[in-house]
Homo-oligomer: A and B are copies of this chain.
């Protein structure tokens, strides 16, 4: 097992990563510091891991709140169901909310924990690779509004994060690859050694080797923790973690979130951002090809849908990263070093958009 401490804002909490954590009652019991618990999960994850989790927490008063599965349920109404469950069980300020599931479950449960009685503790047990490497750190919680994603939420830190690599055994291949896209991102924007390590270890990760997964998750969380600790509220540095996301988000919206998983869209977005970086002379063609190759080996798409350059540009301008009319993009200067800038040739951007999307 690997443990790392995250220091952010005024909170400090541990992330524990390894195999068999959920089925280890003596260890798990010490991580969940309350007698009264509300486990929030979804229909899919409940079938797979809820009995194990409950069996590992003997002697607690446990409520269960099983939400429908899917991003379309990440709404204020669904958060209302979790509030109902907490009130129905008469849980007080000492209770702890336990989020068991992927990013959607974690985002909703964290938001409810932030607001119930103006804040109760919560423990995050992410069961997808994407949630383990991405939402474990940063404290972003929230729900969607029909007018946009994550428009309602809070910055709220968990008491503890528990990433059991065994829970990845049942994860569909595409979802595993989608999580790997974010790991590759950390290599691109921060850590050339992680990128090189991935180059060697992609096969082990795809085979769900516990040791390789533990390293990939731990290093990703470490990097995110460093970045977030320096910039909790996303004023500046934290924006580099959006590498590939502005292009990727346009692809997700244009395809109505139906064609690509989040990580798949990010993979396409990273490739486009790297392509633009090359056109601007920031990096050379060999790094672009290295990135294309690693995404391919991870089972991620490298051919974007033909949504049209004009439509993409329109969607990118609606993104939160637009400041005073200027579209700021995350570009690579070299492997392991990203910059956030609004200063780039729009001809180069047009060329990248045309090559991938027309």
Which residues of A pack against B, CB within 8 Å? 76, 79-80, 83-84, 87-88, 90, 92-93, 111, 114-119, 140, 142, 145-148, 150-155, 320
**B83/A115 in contact, CB under 8 A:** no
CB distance from A286 to the nearest CB of B (A): 39
**B87/A76 in contact, CB under 8 A:** no
The 10 closest A-B pairs by CB, nearest first: A87-B147, A118-B153, A115-B152, A87-B145, A118-B155, A76-B80, A83-B152, A118-B154, A83-B145, A87-B151
Q: With the chains together, A236 CA to B19 CA distance in Å?
A: 42
Residue of B nearest to A139 (CB): B118
User: Which residues of chain B have C-beta atoms less than 8 A from A84's C-beta?
Assistant: 145, 147
13 residue pairs from A and B, CB less than 8 Å apart: A76-B80, A76-B83, A83-B145, A87-B145, A87-B146, A90-B147, A93-B320, A114-B154, A115-B153, A115-B154, A116-B151, A118-B155, A119-B154
Residue of B nearest to A92 (CB): B320
Q: With the chains together, A77 CA to B292 CA distance in Å?
A: 47
User: Which residues of chain B have C-beta atoms less than 8 A from A118's C-beta?
Assistant: 140, 142, 150, 153-155
Residue of B nearest to A115 (CB): B152
Chain A interface mostly: mixed
Residue of B nearest to A141 (CB): B118
Residue of B nearest to A79 (CB): B76
Q: With the chains together, A103 CA to B352 CA distance in Å?
A: 53
Known: A87-B147, A115-B154, A118-B150. 17 other contacts (CB 8 A): A76-B76, A83-B145, A83-B151, A84-B145, A87-B145, A87-B146, A87-B151, A88-B147, A90-B147, A115-B115, A115-B142, A115-B153, A116-B152, A117-B151, A117-B153, A119-B154, A154-B154
User: Which residues of chain B have C-beta atoms less than 8 A from A148's C-beta?
Assistant: 87
CB distance from A299 to the nearest CB of B (A): 33
User: Which residues of chain B have C-beta atoms less than 8 A from A151's C-beta?
Assistant: 83, 87, 116-117
User: Which residues of chain B have C-beta atoms less than 8 A from A90's C-beta?
Assistant: 147
Q: With the chains together, A142 CA to B93 CA distance in Å?
A: 15
Q: With the chains together, A152 CA to B83 CA distance in Å?
A: 8
CB distance from A126 to the nearest CB of B (A): 20
Residue of B nearest to A117 (CB): B151
Residue of B nearest to A140 (CB): B118
CB distance from A329 to the nearest CB of B (A): 19
CB distance from A195 to the nearest CB of B (A): 31
User: Which residues of chain B have C-beta atoms less than 8 A from A92's C-beta?
Assistant: 320
Q: With the chains together, A98 CA to B114 CA distance in Å?
A: 23
User: Which residues of chain B have C-beta atoms less than 8 A from A114's C-beta?
Assistant: 154
Q: With the chains together, A83 CA to B142 CA distance in Å?
A: 13
Q: With the chains together, A147 CA to B85 CA distance in Å?
A: 11
User: Which residues of chain B have C-beta atoms less than 8 A from A87's C-beta?
Assistant: 145-148, 151
CB distance from A108 to the nearest CB of B (A): 13
CB distance from A331 to the nearest CB of B (A): 23
User: Which residues of chain B have C-beta atoms less than 8 A from A153's C-beta?
Assistant: 115, 117-118
Q: With the chains together, A244 CA to B146 CA distance in Å?
A: 44
CB distance from A136 to the nearest CB of B (A): 18
Pick from A79, A151, A155 the residue with the most CB of B within 10 Å. A151
User: Which residues of chain B have C-beta atoms less than 8 A from A76's C-beta?
Assistant: 76, 79-80, 83
